[in-house]
Amino acid sequence: MEATPHQRVRNNLEELGLDRMAATVGEHMSLVASGAKTFPESMLEMTDAQLAAVRERDLWRRVEKANFPYVKTLADFDFSFQPSIPRGVVEDLAGLGWLDRRENVVLVGSPGVGKTHIAVALGVEAVRARKLTYFADCQRLVSDLKRASEKGALERRMRFYAHLSLLILDEVGYLEVDKEGADLVFQLVSRRYERRSTIVTTNVGIGAWAKVFGDPVTASAIADRLCHHCTVIRITGRSYRTKDLPPERGEGALEGRQ
Ligand code: ADP
Ligand code: MG
């Protein structure tokens, strides 16, 4: 039996990849036939729904490329749990003016206080604004660059990191970086300096980076460039991860790298 025009419209929409329209077109045809909706009203509703779905999928594709360890936003963040965080400053950062000015953000605090969450949330805003964003754990970035160097592909890999509109360098300070690693981080930070924005999360104050990067000269060269145009947020408070444990176990119960 030959397909009816109704069925053919649905098939065409499916073949065109317009799944949301295909799903509701039958219902809309009935609504239009009965006079409950005009044709333009139905078309507008269907195309709006399809457009929203396309935009949402596109956003998720870009979010996946950004390599976040988890996807959370500022709406998921309980500011009342962590009163040391200047809420107004963080909300202002979500407006991304600093990104357009090629400035940086450094989040300092002990484990579990929300550094990575805020970095990711700002990263998600950047992705929403179509800024090329990438999240990298500091150790992973260092080993990635070392591996590229061994293969003679350092320049190519360096260019990948250097060209990102936003690089999130997570967990600086959890593990020490050797001389070669520190030089690679310095090269990258220099190339991004005043050209692209970086968010750094660290569990040690910037003054203690000399120990992280082996020698004080490289450490201060890295810190100088990152902190020149920079918003520093220091978070002092309890770990959100251990918030439900009794205080005597909660404090310091999960020290170290998390
Ligand atoms: P760190 O400071 O070690 O990077 P995270 O930001 O990863 O810690 O936070 C640890 C976990 O607790 C994450 O799942 C994060 O989403 C959650 N978290 C931390 N602080 C808050 C908060 N104030 N409100 C809601 N969730 C939080
Ligand atoms: Mg973290």
Nearest ligand 1 atom to the CA of 109 is 2
Domain boundary among 24, 43, 65: 65
Please indicate, yes or no, if residue 190 is contained in any of the structural domains. yes
Ligand 1 atom 7: the closest Cα is on which residue? Answer: 116
- Cα separation, 106 vs 60, in Å, equals 26
Please indicate, yes or no, if residue 162 is contained in any of the structural domains. yes
Nearest ligand 1 atom to the CA of 258 is 3
pLDDT band at 1 (very low <50, low <70, confident <90, very high): confident
Report how many domains make up the chain. 2
Q: Within this chain, do residues 84 and 196 fall inside the same structural domain, yes or no? A: yes
Q: Within this chain, do residues 213 and 93 fall inside the same structural domain, yes or no? A: yes
Q: What is the mean pLDDT of residues 155-176?
A: 95
pLDDT band at 249 (very low <50, low <70, confident <90, very high): low
The pocket around ligand 1, CB under 6 angstroms, is made up of 72, 76-78, 81-82, 109, 111-117, 201, 240-241, 258
Please indicate, yes or no, if residue 250 is contained in any of the structural domains. no
CA distances, 160 to each of 48, 129, 156, 191 (Å): 36, 20, 6, 11
Nearest ligand 1 atom to the CA of 81 is 23
Please indicate, yes or no, if residue 251 is contained in any of the structural domains. no
Domain boundary among 39, 65, 91: 65
Q: Within this chain, do residues 14 and 111 fall inside the same structural domain, yes or no? A: no
Q: Within this chain, do residues 53 and 146 fall inside the same structural domain, yes or no? A: no
Please indicate, yes or no, if residue 253 is contained in any of the structural domains. no
**Domain encompassing residue 165:** 74-242
The per-residue pLDDT for 244 is 79
Chain segment 28-57, per-residue pLDDT in tens: 999 999 999 999 999 999 999 999 999 999
Q: What is the mean pLDDT of residues 175-190?
A: 94
Q: Within this chain, do residues 31 and 148 fall inside the same structural domain, yes or no? A: no
pTM assigned to the model:
0.87
Please indicate, yes or no, if residue 93 is contained in any of the structural domains. yes
- Compare 101 and 1 and report the one with higher pLDDT: 101
CA of 246 to the centre of ligand 2 (A): 22
DSSP designation for 170:
E
Mutate to test the pocket of ligand 1, among 73, 91, 117 (most ligand atoms within 8 A of CB): 117
Please indicate, yes or no, if residue 54 is contained in any of the structural domains. yes
Q: Within this chain, do residues 133 and 113 fall inside the same structural domain, yes or no? A: yes
Please indicate, yes or no, if residue 257 is contained in any of the structural domains. no
Closest CA to 203 of 240, 256, 253: 256
